[in-house]
Structure 1
Amino acid sequence: MLALLGLATIVVLLGAILSKRMSPLVALIVVPIGASLLGGFGFQTSKFALDGLRSLAPVVGMFVFAILYFGTITDAGTLDPIIDRILKAVGTRPTRIVMGTTLLALLIHLDGSGAVCFLVTIPAMLPLYDRLGMDRRVLAAAVSMAAGINFLPWTGPMIRASASLHLPISSLFNPLIPVQAVGLVFVFGVAYWLGRREEKRLGLSSVGGAIPMPRRAISPEEQALRRPHLFWFNIVLTLVVLGTMVVMGEKIPPAIMFMVGLCVALMVNYPDVDMQRKRIDAHARAALMMAGILLAAGVFTGVMQGSGMLKAMAQSAVGFVPPGMASHIPVALGLVSMPLSMLFDPDSFYFGVLPVIAEVAGQLGVPAVHVGQAALLGQMTTGFPVSPLTPATFLVVGLCRIDLADHQKFTFPLLFGASIVMTIAAVVLGVFPL
């Protein structure tokens, strides 16, 4: 009975989110609470929800302060010299242009926002593609691959996986660093191949620098916030924050590092208290929207776990999985995780589907961390730039002025290939046991 109630809860949750009858925030709170009350848990429901909220506090704190930190140093112009150097270095050779596009998108996506990555990279590079007559689908594919492969600790899928499975981000992310490195090699290899193909198609391999480079436009308001004299300070500060988080993540919580980093960045770049307040206000909306969803997810996972619905579903599902195949669950999930982005939005997958898979795997002796890592190799990481369920996909096709179908047909195989390569690398490197 409890297993059926849990299954019905997840079906209703997915239906409400995917049909857009409820926002993810509302569905993640209302649906599990309603199910718990129907299951006869009464006032215990509030305890389940609070337990879930407590477990997510460090994750929510890290996400909020990471958004504020990267927003602040971007406002200060830390990335401007890097962007300008890339634009100057690529020249007018398609191979360099595509690889430069990939590198630029990779750097811009350090803040974890696909929308910001596309809004900065595509307008900066599109004039050069148009001047040379290069295929705009190549531009869309290059930025999609760079953003898709960049699943950093403060990106949405990583945060969701950590929250839904109640695992430290360091335990999910650190073992995947060499896997992500393999993915980056694949992405830049594909970028080089796409550029070479464009050279052959256009006969532009011998083109020099006769075509003038496009210039990036910065508004007067943005220029007033720039702090070019603090470029190296901001770079060193960022390296210290990220390096400490990766190397000492078990001893120093990432949330603390981003809190301290934000305070230092604000005091040095914007000593005026009023300017500090305005910088926080400028980025608070994005941070608080995601924080609200994460806290709502805490209610969902807390109720599902505390009530025993999740465990009951897993115990029922265990009988359908041959014991000899249990160890292959992470590999199988890694191989299908990218196409799942076309079927599930990130909230419904990470908070509705992933906990059930992890619980089933756990019943068979497979650690939940491997299941979470497998999902991160594709589900709304490499998959999000082509998924019709994410606004970022429509931003890519809109900025590049191409059809959605053309973008998906051209880019899907490349992103799927990256996901498969990383899954294989995870096996070879011993991240996933066979």
Structure 2
Amino acid sequence: MLAALGFGSISVFTLLVMTKRISAVAGLILIPTVFGLLGGFGADLGNMMVSGVVDTAPTAVLLTFALLYFLVMTECGLFEPLIRKILSIVGEDPVRIVVGTAILIMCIGLDGDGSTAAFVVITSMYPIYRQVGINPLIIAMLLAIICPTVNWMPWGGPAARMAVSLEIDVADVVLPMLPALVLTLAAALVFAYFVGRGERSKLGARKAQAALVEEDGEASIGEPRTPIPTKNVWFNFALTIAFIVSMGIELLPLPALAMIAFSIAVTVNWPNLRTQNEKLKPHAGTVVMVISLILAAGAFSGILNDSGMVKAMSDALVTHLPEAWGGGFAFVTALISGPLLFILSNDSFYFGVVPVLAETGSAYGIPPEVIAHSVLPGIYLHTLSPLSAPIYLVASLLRTDFGTLQRFSLRWAIGITLTAIAAATITGAIYAT
């Protein structure tokens, strides 16, 4: 019963949001409330929602102040030199721009924090995409297929969580997967190349069509970009590097670092309070949307977790596998990890489900390290989960909605998941017994 309610709430939310029948904020609140009432949790729903919001609050604070920080950096033209340099290298060729975006994400995403990569890459590349006429949703897709791959590294999170939950060495999780990581990143570049080829064809067709209706020749396809005047570039650059490094080494709790960095940036760049208000006011809608989405996602996860729906869903998927699949349980784990991570939070999955998967695998002679390898490719679908806060940030930065972003990126996330599983199989990190 609880498992059915959990699967129902996730499915109905995804369907309604992707078809734009309901907004993400309203769906995150109303849909689990309805299913919670059906499950008889009416009296406790309020406390469940508040519990989830409290758990999500640090993430909301981090992303809100980090968003404000990078908005200040954008308004001060910090990324203008980078944008000009990128344009001088790639010109207006969609293939070069998309592949260049992928490479940029690989470099910035190495710190293991996908939010930082999203801020920097979208802030610097979005104006270029709009100017040339390339679909900006491609940036979100590239973030979804590349950031999780570099997150396989020890400092990325999943490997460390599994090492703790399975009581194994993190090196045994990461090192055998490095060849698969390289192959998967190479595949991501291939994906980027073909997406860029598709955009080049579309852009050429639009230019040809526009030229037919323009009396004075070829029409402009993209949105001309007005360069932003630079201000305090070297100070802002040094502050941004210090901010990112401090986040990487966790000098302070991440929400505190974001609050401090924003306070320094806004005070130094716009010491006049009236100027601060004028500069930040146009971005108020974006900030409010990010906060509301993350807190609403907290309410959603609070109901699913505290009602027992999450545990029931994971148990249903793990314990009802056919006995005949035992020898290939590592591949079963690889295939179900994506859907599990789509409906579960990171900690619920890595500390609650992965030990059960490892125990089940041991019955078929599969070492826990191999189960850990099988789990890593599942993180791609988690980036598009309604329970993943960064996806709402990416949607806001790209001026789109959750459903559109998810609908565009999902097939590519599934494709890179299967590619990663194949790469791990070829390199021997995942095998049958």
Normalised to the residue count of structure 2, the TM-score between the two structures is: 0.61
Equivalence for 1:4: 4
Q: Is the 8 A contact 1:170 1:246 kept in 2?
A: no
Equivalence for 2:127: 120
| Superposition map of 1:188-207 within 5 A | none
Q: Is the 8 A contact 1:83 1:104 kept in 2?
A: no
Equivalence for 1:164: none
CA distance in 1, matches of 2:59, 2:308: 23
Partner SS for 2:157 = helix
Equivalence for 2:83: 83
- Structure 1 390/274 Cα, relative in aligned 2: closer, same or farther at 3 Å? same
Q: C-alpha offsets along residues 342-390 of structure 1, whole Å, 9 cap, x if unaligned? A: xxxxxx9845899997765554348999899644436667x999x9985
CA distance in 2, matches of 1:431, 1:291: 40
Equivalence for 1:332: 335
Q: Please, which runs of 5 or more residues in structure 2 have no aligned partner?
A: 109-115, 162-173, 198-222, 360-367, 385-390
- Structure 1 307/378 Cα, relative in aligned 2: closer, same or farther at 3 Å? closer
CA distance in 2, matches of 1:240, 1:377: 29
Q: By how many angstroms is 1:148 displaced?
A: 4.6
Q: Which amino acid aligns with 2:51?
A: D
CA distance in 2, matches of 1:101, 1:372: 27
CA distance in 1, matches of 2:429, 2:257: 27
Partner SS for 1:43 = helix
Q: C-alpha offsets along residues 6-40 of structure 1, whole Å, 9 cap, x if unaligned? A: 34433443443344332222222122223323333
Q: Which amino acid aligns with 1:267?
A: T
Q: Give the share of equivalent positions with the same residue, in percent.
A: 25
- Structure 1 432/25 Cα, relative in aligned 2: closer, same or farther at 3 Å? farther
Is 1:310 paired with 2:303? no
Q: Is the 8 A contact 1:331 1:423 kept in 2?
A: yes
Equivalence for 2:283: 283
Equivalence for 1:60: 60
Is 1:171 paired with 2:157? yes
Equivalence for 1:73: 73
Q: Is the 8 A contact 1:121 1:143 kept in 2?
A: no
CA distance in 1, matches of 2:26, 2:428: 40
CA distance in 1, matches of 2:43, 2:254: 34
Equivalence for 1:231: 233
Q: Which amino acid aligns with 1:320?
A: H
Q: Is the 8 A contact 1:76 1:227 kept in 2?
A: yes
CA distance in 1, matches of 2:245, 2:373: 24
Is 1:41 paired with 2:41? yes
Equivalence for 2:220: none
Q: Of residues 357, 380, 389 in structure 2, which corresponds to 1:364?
A: 357
CA distance in 2, matches of 1:376, 1:187: 15
- Structure 1 26/261 Cα, relative in aligned 2: closer, same or farther at 3 Å? same
| Superposition map of 1:181-260 within 5 A | 187=188, 219=226, 223=228, 226-228=229-231, 230-248=232-250, 252-260=252-260
Q: Is the 8 A contact 2:122 2:139 kept in 1?
A: no
Provide the aligned length of Structure 1 versus Structure 2.
Answer: 361
Q: By how many angstroms is 1:52 displaced?
A: 0.9
- Structure 1 429/315 Cα, relative in aligned 2: closer, same or farther at 3 Å? same
| Superposition map of 1:344-355 within 5 A | 350=342
Q: C-alpha offsets along residues 203-223 of structure 1, whole Å, 9 cap, x if unaligned? A: xxxxxxxxxxxxx9554xx64
Computed over aligned residues only, the root mean square deviation of the Cα atoms, in angstroms, reads 5.4
Q: C-alpha offsets along residues 106-147 of structure 1, whole Å, 9 cap, x if unaligned? A: 88x944498766641234456xxxxxxxxx8xx999867755
Stretch moving more, 264-273 or 350-359 = 350-359
- Structure 1 365/293 Cα, relative in aligned 2: closer, same or farther at 3 Å? farther
| Superposition map of 1:104-115 within 5 A | 110-112=117-119
Partner SS for 1:227 = coil
CA distance in 2, matches of 1:372, 1:356: 14
Q: By how many angstroms is 1:274 displaced?
A: 1.7
Q: Is the 8 A contact 1:105 1:117 kept in 2?
A: no
CA distance in 2, matches of 1:426, 1:256: 38
Q: Which amino acid aligns with 1:305?
A: N
Partner SS for 1:21 = coil
Q: By how many angstroms is 1:73 displaced?
A: 0.5
Q: Is the 8 A contact 1:149 1:183 kept in 2?
A: no
CA distance in 1, matches of 2:120, 2:98: 21
